[in-house]
Each structure stands twice: as structure tokens, then as C-alpha cells.
A and B are shown apart, each in its own frame.
Chain A
Amino acid sequence: MLMPDKYNPEEPLVMHVDLNSAFASTEQQARPLLRGRPVAVVNRRVKNTCIVTASYEAKALGVKVGMKLLEAERLVPGLVAIESDPAKYRYVYRKLMAILNSYSPHVVMKSIDEGVMDFHHLPAGRSLIDIGYEVKQRLRDEVGSAMRCNVGIGTNRFLAKTAAGLHKPDGLDVMAADNLRDTYATMKLTDLTGIAEHLQRRLNGVGIYTPLQFLDADVVTLEKVVFKGIVGRQWFERLRGYEVDDRPIVTKRVGRQYVLENRNLSRVEIASRLHNLCESVGARLRGQDKAARGVYVYTRTIAGRFWHDTYMSQLPFYTDRTINSLAQNLFAGAPDDIREIGVHCYELSDNNNDQLSLFGDELAREQQLSGAIDAINQRFGERTVHSADTLATDRFLKVKIPFGSTRYL
């Protein structure tokens, strides 16, 4: 049973590895003449796009992630903007994963640029600090000399990640019971992973303004007043170094969205882009051997108005044709002046092709068609075979790297 005022006394055995400005560092690694220069990675070659990652040189000059490129270029005239190159980042991700897997069988990649190694249940051996420095060196040797990473070591995932953020770039820190209070004393509430402005306001509402006050808050206040549920107790334990975040990630939905390249597109042109998204969602769904029962379509207008609609089917589906047909029906009810569209499939289940159906022949034909198209696309490259009405959309709808998910890497 957890002692309320005690911090987890065990040896820190969780290591968090976080690539520094991952996409920008990878670009600087690939293109030596960009090293030491302010670099911003963007998803599109247009001025009103947002910055996905900035190099440390750009960050030092005030460029922030999420900033409009136009604004950043005004701030830093020599800024070099580069369109993201997912293949390169996937390669670095796989290299990082291979390095981490060589130290522990318990590795979870939290996103494309960070992974967690758990050394519990492994025989005691080398110190984790030695391993941390070796990971840094191997990253430089096996990927490139410009690659740097932060390493954090803690008694749980939260402390390891917090430690990894203490000295950027290229830091290595340990957070455990003996330095917990001293470390929290140097931080702001929003420095804690999971505490954004709205949670900060809630904490401020009960007189908590610093991580130390958060640490000293009693569990009843956190559970009953601040978080109104079990999340309060989880924060109480998390801050003390007890593990509450070791949960498997379950895929609940598969989807894609797209900000239109031009705000004057006709309804038919937008529908063809939606069709392209549906094909991509279908491929991802089948790639995970899943079927869905629900389709969700949303749009955002130029004025910022949000619209969405859903459809729940009695039978599971997974073919592009069905997903597109359901999504297009929903899309017919969407308002005009659209700026962004998205489609998601939800209520996922394992795809069981063998189940008998009243519509057996038709379903079997559709399954075979999807299987044949997927096989051709896997052999000759993505979108070798696709619907004719999406022919002109590929140069706009390029697949980009999603943050926070490693499902499709």
C-alpha cells in the first residue's frame, strides 16, 4: 500500500530517450551545410503553413513549434524551411528503436522521436547512467554525428521523461527520491508533462502554483477537488515516482485529416480529396487487420466553424469502397466554405473474414478485390492502384508523420 508522504525509494530503472528537435536534427544530419543554421521543418511548401520542428539555432532566435512560417521568416530572415521527409524520420526512428531494443526487451516507443526502456525484471548489471551515455554515442555512430538525444532516468515513466527534459540538448539526468524535491523546486507547473494551461488554472484554483505545492497537496484535494476522479490519485502517485503509466496502447480509431491546399475548391474537388483520405484510412485499417463499424466525418470552415457527422453500421466493414460510400453520404450534409476535412473509422474489431454472411458472394468479391489491390500496392508502391477520381489529388495529399503515434511507422 502506498505511503502518502513517501517517495518511491527504489532504484531508478526506467530510461526515457528523446531525440533533440528530431526532424530538424535529421535534416541537419542529412545536409551538412545546414548544420549551425536556423532550420524549420514544415509540412507544405506554402507560406501560411505551421512549423513542425525547429532546429536549436532557430529556437534560440525565437522560432517556436506551431508558429506560422511567414511569422518565423520575419523573425529570422535567414531561416531555411524544409519540407518534411517522412522516409528519413522513419529510418532514424527504426535505428533508435533497434538501439534501445539491444538493452532491454521492455521498450515502448512513445512517438517517432522518443522511447522508454524499462529495466525492471532484468538482472542487475551496468549502471543506467553508463547505458545512457552509450545510447548517445551509438546514435552518433549509427545514424550520424549531428544526432543528439536527451536521456532521463527515473523510478517511473513520468520522472524519466521529466528528467529527459531538464537539460536540452544532449542532457542526461536522473530523478529519484533523493533529488525529487530539489528538481521540482526548479520547475514551473507547465514544465510537467500532462499539465497544460487549463490544468494549471484548475490547480491554481486550489492554491497550487508550483510543482512542489502540487507534490505536497493531499490526495483527497487532488482526487475530489482538482481532477474529480481517479486521475487525482494517479497524479499523487506519479509525482512521487510510482508507476501509473505502464498501460498498453489500444487503437480505438483510424483516421486522417487534410487542410485544403486552396480555399476555392469545388464540392466535387473536395469530395475527391475525401475519397483519397478514405483510401488511406482503409489501407491503414486493413494493415492492422482491423474492421470498423463506425465512420466519422468532420469539416472546419474558413470562419472556423466545426461540423461533424457519424454513421454506425450493424456489420463491420474495411474496404475502401464502403468507407468512401459512407463518408461521402455524411459529407453531403457538410456546410460550404470548407478549409479542412477529416475522416475516421471507429468501433474497431479484429477482421474476421471467415464469418458467414447473408451477402456472402458480394462480400467475398469485395474482400478479394481489396486483397488484390493491397497486394499490388505493397509490391509496387503505395497508390499504384487507386480510384480514378483521386488521380489528381496525390500531389496534394502527401502522408506526413503523425506526432504521438507510432502505429503506422
Chain B
Amino acid sequence: MNDEIFLNERIKVVAAFGEGLNPCRPVKFKRSNAREVVISEIGLVHPVGHGKRMVHVFDVTDGSADYRIELDAERLTWRLTREADHVDA
């Protein structure tokens, strides 16, 4: 029913910091298996508080799969937490 895979993978991210409503824009990320994902669209960016620690959640796509990557604002680390594939149906 739900094809999402839940992950907790440290990733390396290239992001651009600019202006506007969403100043942080991840451009691409590299997974632990060395595969590089180039982000074609950022769907939604929303903050989630884990107590007083803030994590910024980015729902993104590379055009063939949707991903969720999270920036921990305290530790300044990025993690890939979800992956979902939908192009075949």
C-alpha cells in the first residue's frame, strides 16, 4: 500500500543558501553507497521540533523517486530518512 522506505542514513549534501521564503535549497546529495542524487524539485520544507532541537525536513525529488532529507539545525548534519518510488505505475 505505501511504498515508502524508512531510512536513517548520513548523507553528504550540496546546498545553496540564498534569500526568499526558503533560503536553504539542497541541490544534490551523495548516499553512503556513493550514488549521487540531483534534486530537481523541492516539494515541501517544514521544521519539526524534537523538544528544543529543531530539524528542517526537506521533501524532494530527482524526478524518478521522492526523498526526505533532514537537516539537524543543532548538529548541522544531514540524513536521508525516507525514499519512495512512484514512476512505474
Contacts and interface: CB of A to CB of B under 8 A. Distances in A.
B66 A31 contact: yes
3 nearest CB pairs, A to B: A91-B46, A30-B59, A381-B51
B76 interface: no
B87 interface: yes
Interface of A: 26, 29-34, 37, 45, 47, 69, 73, 78, 80-83, 87-88, 91-92, 141-144, 377-381, 384
B71 interface: no
Given A34-B66, A45-B1, A384 B51 contact: yes
A141 B21 CA distance: 9
Contacts of A26: 44
Contacts of B66: 30-34
Given A29-B44, A80-B3, A82-B2, 10 more contacts: A30-B66, A33-B64, A33-B65, A33-B87, A87-B46, A377-B51, A378-B52, A379-B52, A380-B51, A380-B52
A32 B61 contact: yes
A386 B11 CA distance: 33
B77 to A, nearest CB: 17
A87 B89 CA distance: 28
B48 to A, nearest CB: 5
Chain A residues touching B, majority SS: helix
Interface size class of B (residues with CB under 8 A): 20 to 34
Contact of B89 (A45, A47, A78, A81): A78
B2 A83 contact: yes
Nearest to B61: A32
Given A45-B1, A80-B86, A83-B2, A381 B50 contact: yes
15 contacts: A26-B44, A31-B59, A31-B66, A31-B86, A33-B61, A33-B66, A78-B89, A87-B46, A87-B48, A91-B44, A141-B21, A142-B21, A378-B52, A381-B49, A381-B53
Nearest to B85: A33
A163 B51 CA distance: 41
Given A47-B1, A141-B21, A31 B51 contact: no
Contact of A33 (B44, B50, B53, B86): B86
Contacts of A141: 21
Contact of B2 (A80, A377, A381, A384): A80
Interface in B38-60: 41, 43-44, 46-53, 57, 59
Contacts of A91: 44, 46-47
A243 B50 CA distance: 42
A88 B44 contact: yes
